[in-house]
Amino acid sequence: MSSFDLTFLSFVLIGFVLYAVKFMKQKDSHDKELLKKIDYLILLLEENKQEK
C-alpha cells in the first residue's frame, strides 16, 4: 500500500468515526441510514483496493 492509500484510509476512518458519533447522539430512525452509509463506505474501500 502506498502512503496515499494509508492517508486516504485514515481520513475515511476519522470521518466515519465522527459520523457515527453524530448519529449516536440523534439515534432514533437513523440506524438504517447509518447502515446504508457503512455499506457504501465499505464498497468504496473495496473499489479503491481493486483499482491499485
pLDDT recorded at residue 1: 56
Entry pTM: 0.40
Provide the number of structural domains found in the chain: 1
Q: Supply the range of the domain harboring residue 23.
A: 3-51
pLDDT (tens place) for every residue of the chain, 52 residues total: 577 888 888 898 998 888 888 877 776 556 677 788 888 988 888 888 787 5
The DSSP-derived string for the chain is --HHHHHHHHHHHHHHHHHHHHHHHT-STTHHHHHHHHHHHHHHHHHHHHH-
